[in-house]
Amino acid sequence: MANKSQELKVAIVHYHLKRGGVTRVIESARDILKANGSRVLILSGEAARDDADQTDIRVVSGLNYRKTGNSVIAGSLVEALKKEAIAHFGSLPDVWHFHNPTLAKNVLIPTVIKELAEEDARIVLQLHDFAEDGRPGNYTSQRSFFDSEASFEATLYPVAKQIHYATINQRDHDFLRKAGINRSNLHVIPNAITELKVESKPEDRPFCQDKLFALYPTRGIRRKNIGELLLLALLYGDRIEFATTLSPENPEWKEVHDGWAAAVKELELPVTLGIADDGKYSFLDLLGWSDFVVTTSIGEGFGLAFLEPWTAGKSVVGRDLPEITRDFVKNDLKLDHLYPRIDFPVEWLNEVEVKEAVESMLRRSYLAYDSVLPKNAVKQALKSWVKRGRIDFGVLNESMQLSVLRKLKEDPSLMSFVSMPSMELASEETVRNHCRTISEVYSPERYGESLKALYEAAMKGHAGRVTHLSTDSVLAQFLNPARLNLLRD
């Protein structure tokens, strides 16, 4: 344990430093920690992008994405990490801080962590995403790395006095607590939010002069629920034009996205997908030009999209995700204008087709996780989807969503049977209040205080014997028929 009179030495470990939420968290943490007098080393599987701050970064190629390996290679990676840390600090770090170590982006990492923990290293495992949450391919890759199920079980979620877990939301905290992690070793560390400084204004935008402009700041992958954005355009297109910022890069997701681009043309909707793809418009300009921000996502980790736009003076409208937004509501952010569902008569769909799709999804999901499908799983899923003969648009797959869009386009009178989602904008006073609350509650200063408390907890007392959490107990929190969605099929 470090002498408290000495500066804290923290090694932050991640697979890469590409653009994205986790990279932003890492870079923010570095800046905040250094401003508070700590020394920081970032260990990454590949070099930082050219426009990033290169300070305190060392590349360890063994950290990069990999689906195969063995314990010998993992041991070599442990030594490589320690070597770089000693070269940087002159000694081993006081705390090793790993991001997304259980996501199976690199199957060596759980073994690396266990080895370090058994050497009494103080370790923080910050989980932004879970392989158990709709990523069965990742989970299978991680399981396949080990020679036996017992080794997988004993390694994935290590438990010891010197190992502390951090989540970015209360839901994940509660899941891990129910799975068996001690309360004293479990922490919620919400991401820091920095104000988005925009100079452009709606009246200056070079397009969409006669309507409101709603920006969806997202890359259009499946869980972002692009079909629902088209539904909003069908319902409100006479007054509002919509746009997403970026198209997906993954070929599989791009194919789905191209299908929605074709649907925009077919249905003649006021939607532009990937408006920033060609680089003609910057994100900050687009945000400033927008009248409000919209989100239709059916799954988020931290929920940055619900917070960040307010700092630029923009209302956030769209689908609520209570599992995530409950954290924000506790901090006095009023989000009751968001809609929880968009319902329409289930009879518009082929009910046999829906039931078969649900059953197929459930069977494949449980099989992928090598779990037994509950006898009433289909009933549980449909019960959460269908209320009083009406089904939520956001749980459907793309083909079902498109069939509903075509039905409404052909007969606009049917729109009266759709529960109209609110597009009401917040008052200027609410926008100011939200901006002030976010700047206080999610400030870099408060984030720094949370990190300091987390590291102090990890360094406190003597190290203990390394045991493990039941992998099935973690999986059970996520693999729940009522939580599944055809857009994550």
Q: Distance from CA of residue 234 to its chain's centroid?
A: 28
Residue bearing the bigger pLDDT, 252 or 69: 69
For 140-154, what is each residue's pLDDT tens digit?
A: 999 999 999 999 999
> Which residues, including other chains, have CB under 8 Å from residue 71's CB and lie 6 or more apart?
111
- SS3 string of the chain? CCCCCCCCEEEEEECCCCCCHHHHHHHHHHHHHHHCCCEEEEEECCCCCCCCCCCCEEECHHHCCECCCCHHHHHHHHHHHHHHHHHHHCCCCCEEEEECCCCCCECCHHHHHHHHHHCCCCEEEEECCCCCCCCHHHHHHHHHHCCCHHHHHHHCCEECCCEEEEECCHHHHHHHHHHCCCHHHEEECCCCCCCCCCCCCHHHCCCCCCCEEEEEEEECCHHHCHHHHHHHHHHHCCCEEEEEEECCCCHHHHHHHHHHHHHHHHHCCCEECCCCCCCCCCHHHHHHHCCEEEECCCCCCCCHHHCHHHHHCCCEEEECCHHHHHHHHHCCCCCCCCECCCEEEHHHCCHHHHHHHHHHHHHHHHHHCCCCCCCCHHHHHHHHHEECCEEEHHHCCHHHHHHHHHHHHHCHHHHHHCCCCCCCCCCHHHHHHHHHHHHHHCCHHHHHHHHHHHHHHHHCCCCCCCEECCHHHHHHHHCCHHHCCHHHC
Average pLDDT, the chain: 94
Q: Where does residue 76 rank: exposed (0-12), middle (13-18), buried (19+ CB within 10 A)?
A: middle
Residue bearing the bigger pLDDT, 393 or 301: 393
Q: Alpha-carbon distance 160 to 154, whole Å?
A: 12
The structural domains of the chain, ordered by start, are: 9-191+443-478 (3.40.50.2000), 193-339+421-442 (3.40.50.2000)
Q: For residue 476, what pLDDT is reported? A: 95
Q: For residue 6, what pLDDT is reported? A: 64
Residue 3 has pLDDT above 50, yes or no: no
Q: Residue 48: which pLDDT band, with cuts at 50, 70 and 90?
A: confident
Please name the amino acid found at residue 106: N
Q: Alpha-carbon distance 184 to 175, whole Å?
A: 15
Q: For residue 55, what pLDDT is reported? A: 86
Average pLDDT in the 349-376 region?
Answer: 94
For 223-265, what is each residue's pLDDT tens digit?
A: 999 999 999 999 999 999 999 999 998 888 899 999 999 999 9
Q: Residue 342: which pLDDT band, with cuts at 50, 70 and 90?
A: very high
25-34, 51-60, 65-74: which range is least confident on average? 51-60
For 169-228, what is each residue's pLDDT tens digit?
A: 999 999 999 999 999 999 999 999 989 999 999 999 999 999 999 999 999 999 999 999
Q: Residue 405: which pLDDT band, with cuts at 50, 70 and 90?
A: very high
How many CA atoms lie within 13 Å of 378's alpha carbon, on the beta-carbon side? Answer: 14
Q: For residue 1, what pLDDT is reported? A: 42
Q: Residue 18: which pLDDT band, with cuts at 50, 70 and 90?
A: confident
Q: Where does residue 327 rank: exposed (0-12), middle (13-18), buried (19+ CB within 10 A)?
A: buried
Residue 298 has pLDDT above 60, yes or no: yes
